[in-house]
Amino acid sequence: MPLEDREGLAARYLIVNGDDFGLSAQVNAGILHARRHGILTNTSLMVTAPAWEEAVELARSTPSLGVGLHVTLVQGRAVLSKQHLRAIIDSEGNFAHDPTQVGLQYYFSRRAREEVRVECRAQLERFLETGLPLSHIDGHLNIHMHPVVMDALLALAQEYSIPAMRLTREDLATSLTLDPRHALRKRWESAVFTSLARTTEKKLRHARIPYPDHLFGLHQSGALDESCLLGLLPRLQAGVTELYCHPTRRPCAEVERRTPTYHRDVELAALTSPTVRAATAEENIRLVNYHALPDVK
């Protein structure tokens, strides 16, 4: 149960997580700016991305920034080589780009499932070698919600003391109220992830791994503007909500290539907006990072 605020009402906590830390210098700069001058509290590190080592150094100099692992098994590079991952990466060490193709392969191929397990271990070990305290685990394109990937991570949970995980499920009605555009795509996403979340939540509970009570960011990825944020804050429910986002300085060739439809600079402006910061305080929303999750649940 969430802690109570000073009026005796159930408190509302908000984790604001910047995904794709390490993807580029501009992504790193955006996330750090949103931490220092906005409401961002946490981030997720891609340990094979082009600027991941710079991201680690920036995180070391910013102890108030919680840092988790952004498991990458689609649209990215592997830690291990082709020698170890013959089924799931190409000759250059890259995973496939199409999430549907990847999802089917991981589900139906025994060899792929085995390789997913060893690559998850390798990415987790690379993160831990940085010396950064692990705040949580999530996945690039929410690949951690795939049953095969989730089972691989849960198998590592006790061995590596995984402290928390993202549970990707979003209230569709709230999302459509805030932004009714792309309703068909949002309904499809909701159906897929609501189904996955039912099974995943049972697994997380059984493993006693904490996760936020609520989440936003799935349906609004790359389009989280100030208006949307100001509409969301009063609608936050009691307990812990994670809002994930993609703040980035632009121009950035890497993000233009990977996510050409994302308005990452708009997200950065929203997270650092004085109006948004004031609204967060007025709503008595407590900004926390994933490290606080066990204490506020």
**CA count, 13 A, side-chain hemisphere, 265:** 8
Q: Check if the beta carbon of residue 45 is closer than 8 Å to that of residue 268.
A: no
pLDDT at 9: 64
- 12-296: CATH class: alpha beta
Q: Please tell me the predicted confidence (pLDDT) of residue 7.
A: 53
What pLDDT is stored for residue 213 in this prediction?
A: 98
Residue 34, phi then psi, degrees to nearest 5: -70, -30
Q: How many residues does the chain have?
A: 297
Q: Are 97 and 257 in contact (CB under 8 A)?
A: no
Cα distance between residue 104 and residue 164, in whole Å: 26
Per-residue confidence in pLDDT tens, the chain, 297 aa: 345 554 556 899 999 999 999 999 999 999 999 999 999 999 999 999 999 999 999 999 999 999 999 999 999 999 999 999 999 999 999 999 999 999 999 999 999 999 999 999 999 999 999 999 999 999 999 999 999 999 999 999 999 999 999 999 999 999 999 999 999 999 999 999 999 999 999 999 999 999 999 999 999 999 999 999 999 999 999 999 999 999 999 999 999 999 999 999 999 999 999 999 999 999 999 999 999 999 998
Angstrom distances, CA of residue 202 to CA of 150, 167, 195, 206, 272: 12, 11, 12, 6, 36
The domain ranges of the chain are 12-296
HSE value, Cβ hemisphere, 13 Å, CA-based, for 193:
23
CA distance 129 to 38: 29
DSSP code for 165: B
Structure tokens given for 119: 């690559």
Q: What is the pTM of this model?
A: 0.96
| Spatial CB neighbours of 134, under 8 Å, sequence gap ≥ 6 | 67, 68, 69, 127, 128, 160, 161, 162, 163
Task: Please give the sequence-ordered ranges of beta strands (E in DSSP) within 49-151, or none if there are none.
Answer: 66-71, 134-139
Is there a contact between 276 and 226 (Cβ–Cβ < 8 Å)?
yes
Q: And the tokens for 294?
A: 């066990």
Give me 182's structure tokens: 């792309």
Amino acid identity of 217? G
- On whether the CB atoms of residues 290 and 163 are closer than 8 A, the answer is yes
pLDDT value at position 188? 97
Q: Which pLDDT does position 1 carry in this prediction?
A: 39
H or E element that contains 14: strand 12-21
For residue 166, give every residue at least 6 positions away whose Cβ sits within 8 Å of its Cβ, in sequence order, or none: 17, 136, 137, 138, 139, 142, 144, 211, 212, 215, 242, 244
Residue 3 has what pLDDT? Answer: 53
Q: At what angle do helices 147-160 and 99-108 cross, to 10 degrees?
A: 70
